Amino acid sequence: GLLIRAQNIPNMPLRFIEDGTMEPWEVTLTAGKIAQRCGEEFQKKTFGDSTLGEKEAEEMQVISGRIVAVLTRLEELEEELLKRCSRGHDIITQKSFGEPGLLFSLGVAENELKAWQTEENSLDAAAAAIDAACLFDEKLRDNRARSLLAMFLYELEGPGLRLNNVVLPCMDVDFLSKDEWDVLFVPNERKEEKTGKISVQDIHGSEASPEVDEEQPNRPLHPIAIDAIEEAFRLRAQNLTTSPLRIINSKTEWFEVQYNAVTFADRFLRKYRSKSLSEEELQTIGGRIVGVLMRLDDLEWEWNHRVCSSPLGQEESASMIPYEQWKTTLGLHPGGVEQVCVETIDVALLEEEDFARARAEKMLGLFLGCIEGPALKASGNRVPGGSEIDFIKCTAQRALMEPKLDNPN
């Protein structure tokens, strides 16, 4: 990805240019193409022509997902990398591995850091320097990729997964030296990685910022996100092969789903850009729309599992919600068809507006409670409007949207 960006290949942009000639989704599309190609090459090299088992298929999905996630956040991660190298100047100058030293081992060119510091921390000034270095220095590219992946795993992907006891292949950052760790992260913090006590910089990329204006009005943003997710449910239910929001058949690629999720969010929010919403508010809403759409299958399964395992879904419980009210109250289809008959769910979502609305609310609530909220709380960051699940009035349902904690026994 770093090499392709440095080559400025036509129709393969990985750096967004705000001159009106390109859309943000074009970067996502390029990232998806790279992930697909690299995934196919790795699969062929590792597994040959063998059919992938369930474990191997999961590994390939994780690899592709991480590639897209890092490449679509390159500028944000790189800016943070330069900040930390600048902040860790004493460590870098005191410790080295010999020429070219610790800075090089982190994937940062010396003239890039100088340009960034000289031009008031401008990534534009540093871009030419790093592109020139990446064109001809494979080792620098490799080192930079390691640093960017480490920050992504440790501060973006890891916190939410660990708080919810979700395990993915290769979650630990075990490929850095102690000196590299001390520059990128707080010294001696490595031992906390598996406890969930992690400093999270961002859950949506640039949307979550610790510098949110204290005087900014606390406007309700959740209704807009719910409207979008409800509309997306109906779009996904149509199973259009031209704009899939799920894997429809063997010809559907995951990057197409990612691309369509981003495109959908961008198009949906266009009508709100002239309604006094700030750019940060729009980014927060957009991040939630994409975040939910990319996890819909998992969120749907998790919500159904939590409800059915709770008093709300058990017949012997006095608190059970009557089956005829499940669609409008819980956003779930009764009769044991969840995750069993997708067609039945799709038809109901297309025909029953109240069902689609309730289901959208539950998916957003579960996302906020288990993914966005815990990560922001761990980092001390905030987003406009907050991450409270204040649109779910039922206390029992809100409790089901909280992160699952490890059993203390």
Per DSSP (E only), the strands in 28-122 are: none
- CA-closest candidate to residue 212, choices 387, 388, 384, 385: 384
CA 102, distance to chain mean position in Å, is 30
**Per-residue model confidence as pLDDT tens digits over 92-124:** 665 544 445 889 999 999 888 888 888 766 777
pLDDT by residue (tens digit) across 288-316? 998 899 889 899 999 999 999 999 999 89
- Collapse the DSSP code of 341 into the 3-class scheme (helix H, G, I; strand E, B; otherwise coil) and give the result: coil
Q: What's the Cα-to-Cα distance from 86 to each of 22, 42, 83, 113, 128, rounded to whole Å?
A: 32, 35, 5, 8, 18
pLDDT at 49: 81
Secondary structure class of 215 (helix, strand, coil): coil
116: three-class secondary structure by DSSP: helix
* DSSP three-state, residue 298: helix
293 within 8 A of 261, measured Cβ to Cβ:
yes
407 CB-side CA count, 13 A? 1
Closest CA to 143 of 78, 63, 95, 86: 78
> pTM for this structure?
0.58
* Cα-trace Rg, the chain: 22
Identify the CA nearest to 370 among candidates 396, 392, 398.
398
pLDDT in tens, the chain (409 residues): 999 999 988 788 888 877 777 777 788 888 888 988 888 888 888 888 888 787 888 788 888 888 988 998 888 899 899 989 888 766 666 554 444 588 999 999 988 888 888 876 677 778 888 999 899 999 999 999 999 999 999 888 887 677 666 778 888 899 999 889 988 986 545 544 443 332 333 333 333 333 434 444 456 789 999 999 999 999 999 988 877 888 888 888 777 888 888 888 888 988 887 777 888 888 889 889 988 998 898 999 999 999 999 999 998 999 999 999 999 999 999 988 888 899 999 999 999 999 999 999 999 999 999 888 887 777 677 888 888 999 999 999 999 999 876 444 4
Euclidean distance between CA atoms 242 and 254, whole angstroms: 13
Q: For the CA atoms of 15, 17, 20, 24, what is the dihedral angle to 10 degrees? A: 30
Residue 367: what pLDDT?
93
Residue 93: the pLDDT is 60
